[in-house]
Amino acid sequence: MAGALVLTFAVAVAATLYVVTPRDPAPAPPGQAPEQVPAGWRLVWADEFDGPAGPPDPAKWNLVDDHLGYNNELEYYSPRNAAVDGQGRLVITARSDDAGGHDCSPRVCAATSARLFTAGKFVQRYGRIEARIKLPEGQGMWPAFWARRSPQGSGRGEIDIMEHLGREPDTVHGSLHGEQGYDEQNTYRLPGGGRFADDFHVFAADWYPDRISFLVDGQVYATEHKADAPPGGWDFDVPYYLLLNLAVGGDWPGPPDSTTRFPQQLIVDHVRVYASAADPPR
């Protein structure tokens, strides 16, 4: 998310990285064909959010418990607002009815929500990073699926695989933020006036040493090239960690208004990371 700089979280982070190992896809339910690994890729890390209802897998995700204060946002991130639903999905819920019990100084909290990240547990350099997500709706909603330079606070590098403003129901953005003022933003709109809140869509970035492409439902809609960045601006040759969050308010989306309905949910069916099939397993 543009504007977020050094990340300091009030959470416990594991001291070692999650060991990534290719694994076979889980068996498909009766009558449903198993999902195939995309041609040219090899699965190295995934969370399918299977298993019983409860907190997200602590071996894979950290949860923020703080008002980070970035971008003049109005949410307090609480671990209670992220849960696996027992039906194979992660649900991040933005609520307004419990916001008064939290401190968002110097502003007043408008909502609680959740922010998950993999720093200290999993990082990746190059490959395909994807998630299948159903987005929330409404003025002031700002969901994001993104990646930051590892380790935390080591640089400005940011890959925004998907950002969405609730006031633009048919639109998502894919962006890069590097050094030397390098900022590139791209926009994708659903055809036919569709709304991202109505169904799941797969958001992905294909990350190569010389370029990064942004995809929605398998369709490349933009590609940024290293050769076009200013000297020292391309900050995408080191490992990055993943983030999922649902922000409320902020400089870009603006605050919720009288049309905004709470609670709102960001629902994630899976997160998967692939490496090139030509690269040897780590």
Residues annotated as catalytic are 158, 163
Q: How many residues are given for the chain?
A: 282
Rounded Cα gap, residues 275 and 20, in angstroms: 11
Residue 246: what residue type?
L
Q: How far is CA 201 from the centre of its chain?
A: 13
Task: State whether residue 84 is helix, strand or coil.
Answer: strand
- Under 8 Å between Cβ of 79 and 65: yes
Say what the alpha-carbon torsion angle 162, 168, 170, 173 is, to the nearest 10 degrees: -20
How far CA 37 is from CA of 32, 124, 244, in Å, comes to 16, 18, 22
Q: Return the bridge partners of 149, or none.
A: 240
Q: How does DSSP classify residue 124?
A: B
**Angle at CA of residue 209, ends 204 and 210, nearest 5°:** 95
Q: How does DSSP classify residue 273?
A: E
Residues 6+ apart with CB under 8 A from 34: 25, 26, 27, 28
- Under 8 Å between Cβ of 194 and 170: yes
First to last CA, the chain: 29
